[in-house]
A and B are shown apart, each in its own frame.
Chain A
Amino acid sequence: MTENELPGPDDEARVPRRVIGTPAQGTAVLGTRPATAEVETPGVTLPDPADARKAERTVTLLFFIAFLAGIAFIASYVIFQVGDIDSTGVSNAALGGSLTVALLALSAGVVVWVRRIMPKYNIVQERHEMRSDGDTREYVGKTFVAGANESGFVKHKMMRRTLLLAAAPLGLAPLVLLKDLGPLPGTSLRHTVWKKGMKLVVEGTGQPILASDFDSPGGILSVVPEGYEHDLNALAKATLILIKFRPEDLKAGTIKNWTYDGIVAYSKICTHVGCPAALYEQTTHHILCPCHQSTFDATDGAKVIFGPAARPLPQLPIGVDGQGYLIAQADFDVPVGPSFWERGDAEADAREARGNQS
């Protein structure tokens, strides 16, 4: 349809007008088309009045439907109240349905109007090159130079230079004003709220965790620091996943001193771009980040085994308090979450520091 819709001088091309490669056919099927209607303006073909009258009926019907649907919209607003999920559904269907019908009928009506009641147009208008003619350009050029000279901007050097000088700090001013958008990073990215003795509590219930209760190998839990259950800024760095292993499952990458009875705590914040890496397969011991599918081996210090993350999930040193509740032994010794410019190879530094301690 797309290529066939160009206005052609003749629509009777479907009949052979001239047969190529055969003896000439004469004029029987060729025929030049007789001028259709009396054309008043060149390029404007008026529609057949009978057809236009027929089309008018269609358009009228469509506009009337639009009118009724518009009324129905207003009525629906009054009739259908909202306030719970089902009544909202009904209200949405009634309001939206009537609006859609009204708009569709209106648009269809206008299209039929254009196509069958308005004339067919094939008007030709000249284009002109975008560029101005030479005289104009010359005049503008001269005027510019004259104006510049008259203003004295060229001649009075001190004035011009001080004006530019004055503009410079004022141009910078808006940027300066943006400084208070936020504090400077400082070392805040290197710490979380975890500290020695802080209890691990279950995300969603806030209950502390007895190590002896978390006793099913293959278990996992999303854990947050006590006292920060609803502090999103703290959670964005401090959320943990707690996994219970059979002690023999743990490999060298996991720091054994930092586990308790086969329970290991890793940062839940992916080292790629910070999604919670929370998807845990107990059969393969894989931790998978649902955002970009970085995969970490939970038995082996959460080292990366697939995907775009470049670093393991940091491990948090945990232990138990006097009553047997799980607590943190310290903060993470590397920054959690996505990499940033000032981070450096914090893992290497941390390894060195741990080596010095022992």
Chain B
Amino acid sequence: MNETPKPIAGTASYLDDRLGAGSFLKRNLRKVFPDHWSFLLGEIALYSFIILLLTGTFLTFWFKPSMQHVIYDGSYQPLVGVGMSEAYASTLHISFEVRGGLLIRQMHHWAALLFVAGMTVHMLRVFFTGAYRKPRELNWIIGVLLLTLALAEGLTGYSLPDDLLSGAGLRITEGVAISIPVVGTYITFFLFGGEYPGEDVISRFYSLHILLIPGILLALISAHMVLMWVQKHTQMPGPGRTEHNVVGAPFYPAFMAKAGAYFLFTFACIAGLGTFAQINPIWLFGPYTPADISAGSQPDWYMGFLEGALRLMPSWEINFLDHTVPLSVLIPALVPMGIIMTGLAVYPFAEQWITGDRREHHLADRPRNAPVRTAIGMSGVTFYGILWLMGANDWISAYFHIGLYETTIIGRFAIFIGPAIAYWVTYRICLGLQRRDQDILSHGVESGVIKRLPHGEYIEVHVPPAEDIAEHMRGKKEIPIVPGDEDKDGIPPKGVRGPIGKLRAKASKFYGTDHVPLDGHGHDGHDEHAAVGASDKPRELH
């Protein structure tokens, strides 16, 4: 093919005449996208969101967001004649009397689980490679907002069928909302249109779930994509890759096809789960009534950490001057979520303050090369993971025959000790991996070839690592340290004065000190590193 086919050329010029799309395409058709498998993880969330919009729209055609009491007379025998809300009855209708209804409903739910899971793994990738650094802090903040909104979207969504399981979640939501000091009762009465459960909450959650929150999500996701596009993607260190270029495949045709294939994979994965793995079988749960509860009631996975926090908490409550502050609800409902979300949001700025690093970064860090960050991250993951696990402590107790209280008590300790251990272990692993890199760069890799030297000695032949791997390793960047040493008059430099400044200087040294510089001499502190990154000659065996 030597020229654009007529129909395409015709349409293109029509559009260009009216929109001037040509110059945009000229700049962007061959936009380069770096290749690394982990760069695709965020797309799981993006494509899940698209599938959520499509399947969700399908569900709205039959779902009735009403708490009107009806007597079921549909085709699911064990519930015929049972009183329930119209929302629950219409969900049963979608499941059993609409062709493909059950499939789409299950796909919608699986897509929701993958949406948040995809966001989580994407966020971890961005965190551990330091891809949130300047100029991408704003996009990181958007990401944190997206994650928070996704939790709200999930909660409002799985509450809609008004079944006994999601109703328990709604009840807990109410219990948490009403515990908020001063305004708690008002918030609850406004949310539920009066006393719990009222007759409004399903239709209100429905508006939030299908209109307001997805609208904001859509806007933020678009902003997230535009910023990524404008700022160009980060890349892993490697041959020919610098802070000032981007190496990879062009958007058209290669990246487009890859992204398309990945969308289809996501779709296939969700369709496969919707076919072969039953999710949220509400007909087994029964209709909601505030009088009943099932053993083993859990929220969807992304709410599990909050559930776990509620279970771990001891029974603290303060009464004073005729008022009550139920700490046993407030602390677990707000503190872990606060630590995680606020921690994520401020991390880029805290890191900038500690390192004094205001440069742009487009080359991603390998997690081992920023050991403190990686260790903090793993410690956060452990904190989250323990809470998450404790959200299912009754199943753990029942299946592994551990006493129920013992799981709680172990969890109460683990939530403090676990993150500390995770920090230490990760830090040591990072340094170990750095040492291995250093070793490979200076001594080469074992080739498995044994050689006999002329004087009779046997040695194993070491060969230099492949160039690309070596380049990848040499991509290690020093982490800047704010100069904290006092000058000859005993006055510390600007920025590290006063108690907070001293703390900053200390933190900076701790954060940035490279214990395993690539030049192999180690433990020299920060000052001598300037030349490390540049030394790209393979070293001889010492």
Contacts and interface: CB of A to CB of B under 8 A. Distances in A.
B461 A16 contact: yes
B452 to A, nearest CB: 10
A282 interface: no
Interface stretch (A114-122, A133-141, A148-156): A114-122
A172 interface: no
Nearest to A7: B468
B43 to A, nearest CB: 13
A355 to B, nearest CB: 19
Given A88-B96, A123-B30, A290-B394, A103 B271 contact: yes
A306 interface: yes
A275 B291 contact: no
Interface in B392-416: 393-394, 404-405, 408
Interface in A107-129: 107, 110-111, 113-114, 118-119, 121-127, 129
Contact of B268 (A92, A107, A294, A304): A107
Contacts of A184: 186, 189
A83 to B, nearest CB: 5
B275 A97 contact: yes
A58 interface: no
Contact of A9 (B190, B328, B468): B468
A213 to B, nearest CB: 21
B19 interface: no
Given A83-B96, A275-B171, A306-B405, A121 B289 contact: no
Contacts of B243: 127
Interface in A8-57: 8-11, 13, 16-23
A100 B268 contact: yes
B275 A126 contact: no
A307 B257 contact: no
B520 interface: no
A292 B449 CA distance: 61
B31 A20 contact: no
B7 to A, nearest CB: 22
Name which of A114, A304, A311, A341 has the most chain B CB atoms within 10 A of its CB.
A341
Question: Which applies to chain B's interface (DSSP): helix, strand, loop or mixed?
Answer: mixed
B467 A203 contact: no
Given A123-B249, A125-B246, A273-B175, A307 B408 contact: yes
Given A7-B238, A113-B257, A338-B175, A310 B316 contact: yes
Contact of B449 (A16, A107, A230): A16
B408 A293 contact: yes
Interface stretch (A161-169, A231-239, A322-330): A231-239
A310 to B, nearest CB: 3
Contact of B464 (A17, A268, A294, A309): A17
Nearest to B32: A125
Contact of B261 (A5, A99, A107): A107
A126 B541 CA distance: 37
Interface in B487-540: 540
A201 to B, nearest CB: 12
Contacts of B77: 84-85
Nearest to B232: A127
Contact of A123 (B69, B247, B444): B247
A189 B186 CA distance: 12
A221 to B, nearest CB: 12
Interface in B231-272: 231-232, 236, 238-240, 243-250, 253-254, 257-258, 260-265, 267-268, 271-272
Interface string A260-274: 000000001100111
Interface stretch (B58-66, B97-105, B208-216, B376-384): B97-105
Interface stretch (B112-120, B148-156, B292-300, B343-351): B292-300
A178 B190 contact: yes
A3 B466 CA distance: 11
Nearest to B98: A82
Interface stretch (B318-326, B334-342, B420-428): B318-326
B53 interface: no
9 contacts: A5-B35, A85-B76, A100-B268, A100-B275, A114-B254, A129-B360, A182-B193, A308-B313, A341-B184
Interface of A: 2-11, 13, 16-23, 77, 80-85, 88, 91-93, 95-97, 99-100, 103-104, 106-107, 110-111, 113-114, 118-119, 121-127, 129-130, 178, 181-185, 188-189, 203, 222, 224, 230, 232-233, 235-237, 239, 268-269, 272-276, 278-279, 289-294, 304, 306-311, 337-345
